[in-house]
């Protein structure tokens, strides 16, 4: 799939601005074969420049898609005081650009290794765990009634689902079996359903020299146990080598939970947090296997996906470290 047509993108953007604009500097940011993220500038007739991002599924059904849900979520999150890019407009069928939306571009760094190592972010790092806690609390306080299409994913259901995925591949993973046993014996009691971001981790955060600027990648949002987001942020893979800082490689749990309380979040049970951290480790291991099989079964041929199959052992190792 090639780049989005610049003229069509300019037409759509002009409609939103209610004045003619041209597109400059269109470039691919990231994304897999089905999901794409493009950066561009919209330049108005008076030379006003807007830094924007297009998120789209080129082959998606027009008029309705997960992108439309993500658009609504971002708007809701912004209204609820969560730091997110402001959304501009949904693509329409007549735009002929696939399904997706345009939002403001928040300047900053998302590459975790740079955030954790570069001097530019030295002053930001000590703030991030607390800021993540505050943001998580605001996310969990959003009213999900406005988003009827989000699915409920309580802990027990997710555990069953990842066990099924694992069984679907047929390759035995005794380390994951040990994890599944431990998790099954300690499933947290169902909580009141909160909006859960679903991929709240280092790598999906925009960070500037001043600290956390925006929370991105809402496509896995669902209803469930809010501690899921906090546990996922602690998974060792998201520490990108800075393993002694449990929260994203930049901070400690005490700071995260202090921020969570300041943001209005409930008291967090350490055992529930440990459950979600271990579950997240297992989940990421299984996702790596799913990605490898996406390559192996020919759905998407990619050396990146193939390589993820050999990362599964990292999560098995990390999981064994977490087992008492």
Partner 1 sequence: MTLQDRPTAPELLEAVREFLERDVMGAETVPTRVLFHARVAVKVLGIVERELRLGPALDAAERERLAALLGHDGEVDDLLAELARGIRDGSLDDSRDEVVASVRESVRAKLEVANPKHLET
Residues that bind partner 1 (CB under 8 A): 28, 172-175, 177-178, 180-181, 236, 241, 243, 302-304, 306-307, 310-311, 313-314, 316-317, 320, 323
Residue 313 C-beta: closest distance to partner 1, Å = 4
Q: What angle do CA 21, 27, 29 make, to 5 degrees?
A: 125
- Of 6, 75, 13, the residue nearest 44 (C-alpha): 13
Q: Which is nearer to partner 1, 172 or 190 (CB)?
A: 172
Alpha carbon distance 236, 249 (integer Å): 8
Between 52 and 312, name the residue whose CB sits nearer to partner 1: 312
Least Cα distance to 201 among 179, 181, 180, 220 occurs for 220
Nearest approach, Cβ of 37 to partner 1 (angstroms)? 12
CB of 277 vs partner 1, minimal distance in Å: 16
When the beta carbons of 107 and 177 are compared against partner 1, the nearer one is 177
Q: Any idea what DSSP says for residue 119?
A: G
User: Quick one: 18 or 27, whose CB is closer to partner 1?
Assistant: 27
d(CA 132, CA 252): 11
Nearer to partner 1 among residue 20 and residue 172 (C-beta): 172
Phi, psi of 116 (to 5 degrees): -85, -15
Identify whether the C-beta of residue 206 lies closer than 8 Å to the C-beta of residue 110.
yes
If one counts every other C-beta atom within 10 angstroms of the C-beta of residue 92, the result is: 13
Q: Give the C-alpha separation, 104 to 73, whole Å.
A: 15
Q: How many CB atoms lie within 10 A of CB 260?
A: 28
**Identity of the residue, 10 or 183, whose beta carbon is nearer to partner 1 in the bound complex:** 183
Q: Given the structure tokens 């609820």, which residue do they identify? A: 80
Smallest CA-to-CA distance from 154 within 118, 193, 126 is with 193
**Smallest distance from the beta carbon of 151 to partner 1, in angstroms?**
27
Q: How far is the CB of 310 from partner 1 (least distance, A)?
A: 4
Q: Is 62 or 306 the residue whose CB approaches partner 1 more closely? A: 306
What's the rounded Cα separation, in Å, for the pair 305 and 34? 14
CA-to-CA distance for 190 and 185, rounded, in angstroms? 14
CB of 230 to partner 1, least distance (A): 22
78 or 113: whose CB is closer to partner 1? 113
Q: How many CB atoms lie within 10 A of CB 154?
A: 18
Rounded distance, CA 185 to CA 9, Å? 52
Query: Nearest distance from residue 299's CB to partner 1, in Å?
Result: 17
Q: Report the nearest approach of partner 1 to the CB of residue 319 (Å).
A: 9
């Amino acid at each position: 799939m090639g780049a989005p047509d610049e003229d069509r993108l300019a037409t759509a953007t002009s409609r939103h601005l209610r004045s003619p604009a041209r597109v400059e500097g269109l470039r691919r940011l990231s994304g897999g074969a089905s999901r794409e993220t493009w950066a561009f500038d919209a330049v108005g007739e008076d030379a006003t420049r807007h830094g924007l991002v297009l998120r789209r599924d080129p082959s998606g059904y027009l008029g309705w898609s997960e992108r439309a849900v993500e658009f609504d979520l971002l708007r809701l999150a912004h209204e609820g005081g969560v730091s997110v890019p402001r959304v501009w407009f949904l693509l329409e069928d007549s735009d002929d650009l696939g399904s997706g939306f345009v939002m403001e571009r928040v300047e900053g760094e998302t590459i975790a290794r740079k955030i954790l190592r570069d001097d530019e972010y030295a002053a930001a790092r000590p703030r991030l765990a607390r800021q993540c806690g505050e943001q998580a609390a605001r996310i969990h306080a959003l009213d999900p009634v406005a988003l009827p299409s989000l699915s409920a994913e309580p802990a027990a259901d997710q555990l069953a689902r990842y066990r099924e995925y694992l069984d679907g591949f047929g390759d035995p993973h005794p380390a994951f079996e040990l994890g599944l046993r431990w998790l099954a014996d300690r499933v947290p009691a169902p909580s009141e359903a909160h909006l859960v971001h679903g991929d709240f981790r280092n790598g999906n955060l925009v960070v500037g020299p001043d600290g956390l600027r925006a929370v991105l990648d809402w496509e896995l949002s669902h209803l469930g146990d809010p501690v899921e987001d906090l546990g996922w942020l602690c998974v060792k893979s998201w520490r990108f080598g800075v393993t002694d800082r449990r929260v994203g490689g930049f901070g400690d749990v005490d700071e995260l939970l202090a921020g969570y309380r300041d943001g209005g979040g409930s008291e967090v049970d350490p055992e529930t947090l440990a459950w979600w951290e271990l579950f997240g480790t297992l989940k990421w291991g299984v996702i790596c296997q799913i990605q490898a099989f996406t390559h192996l079964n020919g759905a998407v041929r990619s050396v990146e996906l193939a390589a993820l199959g050999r990362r599964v052992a990292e999560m098995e190792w990390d999981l064994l470290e977490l087992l008492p």
